[in-house]
């Protein structure tokens, strides 16, 4: 018996007999012949069953089939297998029908989000839904690859922490052997501490936000792609680093996910430079061009959308860096702008109307950091382990974090961030 062949490789076996393993994706009886679609990790193939060997099989039965590969223009993908034999590898246990017709991209894409998530274990098997996570996989691989080439070290830091890092964002409290602890909202302090060790570090890890948001852009657990780099000369180094990184990620997605992008009719930006505007310039543009009233130097959801439209028309870019936010709106570790102490050396990156990154230069001087913590009415003793790293010498440094689900949902134009999370955690979903 020949070895198992992946469905994506069947073109190399035309005229030959092969063994394929997978799931019965669809089964139909047409003109006295069974037509099946079989799905494996790599694709879906039509199987023609003239001997009616599949008559008693059901959708999602796991099977091993063997048969001859034939070129057939009318078959999906231009190829089919003439069935010679079948072995059942996995039984199914459900009433008359699957709860969702996962073989049909159309019917799955029309499902309400609630249904898509309720039957997640099944809907993820739909090739179009599965494609989202292939793109996420490429994004994370490309993130790692680019940074490793620049001599970054990947780190893994604890998600059980003693204090907040991001000020405003809410924390999940946990009982840690009778002590109060929290789920980390960011690896912020640890990635900075690790700059004192490796100079250049990154982390791919879940972080937790207890915000009660119920929006298409917020999760309570999301995958944070964190970067931190020492010996920078200013904010520009960070903007350049993220530009190069995204350029690489987009290139990899274009190269490796052609099929997946087609399923979503998605175009990945081909970036050279990303326009840079200060938040002051942005609010000025919003007032002048769109008559939007300015309430502090900040951007709301509508502002992010409007500035994206403006930048797209003006510079043909779908991304824009917004820099120099007011110091008071940023966490205590943010470096003040030397030319205006009200502002900070910080930035956000907006992609297709959504903030996908926050970052900035950090305070690296121990005394200055203690001062800033106190200015905010916080107690430096609560941050002692973090502050210790600064007592022992830290270089000028900075970094940023990309929300992975936000990036993927914008690449594929998904209407809701939950679609880019396998088993999303939000106020209403703890299961599956
Ligand atoms: P911030 O809190 O802005 O910054 O988060 C960084 C990026 O994470 C994503 N993000 C989210 N994604 C989904 N659901 C959420 N609730 C959510 N909150 C944030 C966004 C955002 O841009 N320590 C800093 C980063 C740094 O300066 O290095 C931080 O966590 O894409």
Asked if residue 243 and residue 171 are part of one domain, the reply reads yes
- Is 101 inside a domain boundary? no
- Is there a contact between 55 and 108 (Cβ–Cβ < 8 Å)? no
Q: What's the gap in Å between 238 CA and the centre of ligand 1?
A: 16
Please choose, from the candidates 137, 128, 101, the residue with its C-alpha nearest in 3D space to the C-alpha of residue 28.
Answer: 101
Asked if residue 168 and residue 79 are part of one domain, the reply reads no
Asked if residue 137 and residue 61 are part of one domain, the reply reads no
The pLDDT tens digits of the residues spanning 246-266 come to 999 999 999 999 999 999 999
Asked if residue 138 and residue 61 are part of one domain, the reply reads no
Find out whether the beta carbon of 403 lies less than 6 Å from any atom of ligand 1. Answer: yes
- Is 160 inside a domain boundary? yes
Domain that holds residue 17: 7-90
Find out whether the beta carbon of 218 lies less than 6 Å from any atom of ligand 1. Answer: yes
**Number of Cβ within a 10 Å radius of residue 82:** 15
Cβ burial of 1 (10 Å; 0-12, 13-18, 19+) is: exposed
The C-alpha atoms of residue 307 and residue 353 are separated, in whole angstroms, by 8
- Is 282 inside a domain boundary? yes
- Is 392 inside a domain boundary? yes
Asked if residue 398 and residue 254 are part of one domain, the reply reads yes
The pLDDT tens digits of the residues spanning 196-240 come to 999 999 999 999 999 888 999 999 999 999 999 999 999 999 999
Asked if residue 75 and residue 170 are part of one domain, the reply reads no
Identify the domain boundary among 43, 72, 90.
Answer: 90
- Is 120 inside a domain boundary? no
Identify the domain boundary among 73, 90, 107.
Answer: 90
- Is 431 inside a domain boundary? no
pLDDT of 122 > 70? The answer is yes
Q: Which of 147, 155, 186, 426 to mutate to test the pocket of ligand 1 (most atoms within 8 A of CB)?
A: 186
Here the tokens at position 215 are: 């929006």
Asked if residue 331 and residue 192 are part of one domain, the reply reads yes
Here the CATH number for the domain that contains residue 16 is 2.40.50.140
Asked if residue 354 and residue 238 are part of one domain, the reply reads yes
The residue whose CA is least distant from atom 23 of ligand 1 is 188
The pLDDT tens digits of the residues spanning 159-208 come to 999 887 777 568 999 999 999 999 999 999 999 999 999 999 999 999 99
Q: Which of 187, 190, 358, 409 to mutate to test the pocket of ligand 1 (most atoms within 8 A of CB)?
A: 358
Residue that has been written with the tokens 């010679």 in this structure:
84
Asked if residue 365 and residue 265 are part of one domain, the reply reads yes
Model confidence, pTM: 0.96
Number of domains in the chain: 2
The C-alpha atoms of residue 43 and residue 40 are separated, in whole angstroms, by 6
Asked if residue 171 and residue 287 are part of one domain, the reply reads yes
- 289 sits in which H/E element: helix 279-290
The C-alpha atoms of residue 390 and residue 246 are separated, in whole angstroms, by 30
- Is 68 inside a domain boundary? yes
- Is 111 inside a domain boundary? no
């Amino acid at each position: 018996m020949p070895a198992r062949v992946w469905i994506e490789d069947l073109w190399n076996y035309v005229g030959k007999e092969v063994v394929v393993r997978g799931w019965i994706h669809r089964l139909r009886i047409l003109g006295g012949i069974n037509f099946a679609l079989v799905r494996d990790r790599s694709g879906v193939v039509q199987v023609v069953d003239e001997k009616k060997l599949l008559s008693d099989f059901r959708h999602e039965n796991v099977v091993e089939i063997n048969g001859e590969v034939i070129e057939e223009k009318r078959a999906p993908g231009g190829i089919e297998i003439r069935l010679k034999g079948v072995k059942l590898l996995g039984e199914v246990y459900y009433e008359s029908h699957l709860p969702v017709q996962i073989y049909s991209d159309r019917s799955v894409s029309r499902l309400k989000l609630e249904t898509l998530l309720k039957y997640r274990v099944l809907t993820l098997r739909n090739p179009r839904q599965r494609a989202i996570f292939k793109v996420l996989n490429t994004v994370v691989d490309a993130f790692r690859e680019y940074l490793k080439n620049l001599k970054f070290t990947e780190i893994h830091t604890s998600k059980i922490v003693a204090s907040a890092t991001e000020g405003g964002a809410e924390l999940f409290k946990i009982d840690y052997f009778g002590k109060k602890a929290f789920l980390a909202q960011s690896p912020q302090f640890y990635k900075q501490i690790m700059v004192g060790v490796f100079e250049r570090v990154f982390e791919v890890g879940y972080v937790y936000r207890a915000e009660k948001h119920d929006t298409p852009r917020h999760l309570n657990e999301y995958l944070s792609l964190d970067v931190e780099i020492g010996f920078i000369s200013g904010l520009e180094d960070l903007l350049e680093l993220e530009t190069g990184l995204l350029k690489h990620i987009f290139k990899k997605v274009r190269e490796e996910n052609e099929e997946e992008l087609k399923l979503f009719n998605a175009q990945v930006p081909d970036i050279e430079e990303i326009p840079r505007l200060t938040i002051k310039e942005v609010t000025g543009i919003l007032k002048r061009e769109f008559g939007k009233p300015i309430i502090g130097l900040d951007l709301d959801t509508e502002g992010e959308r409007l500035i994206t439209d403006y930048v797209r028309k003006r510079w043909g870019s779908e991304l824009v860096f917004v820099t120099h936010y007011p110091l008071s709106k940023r966490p205590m570790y943010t470096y003040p702008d030397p030319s205006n102490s009200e502002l900070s050396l910080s930035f956000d990156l907006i992609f297709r109307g959504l903030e996908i990154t926050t970052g900035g230069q950090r305070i690296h001087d121990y005394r200055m950091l203690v001062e800033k913590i106190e200015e905010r009415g916080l107690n430096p003793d609560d941050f002692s382990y973090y502050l210790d790293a600064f007592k022992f010498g830290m270089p000028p440094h900075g970094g940023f974090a990309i929300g992975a689900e936000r990036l993927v949902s914008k690449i594929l134009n998904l209407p809701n961030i939950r679609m880019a999370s396998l088993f999303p955690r939000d106020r209403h979903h703890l299961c599956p």
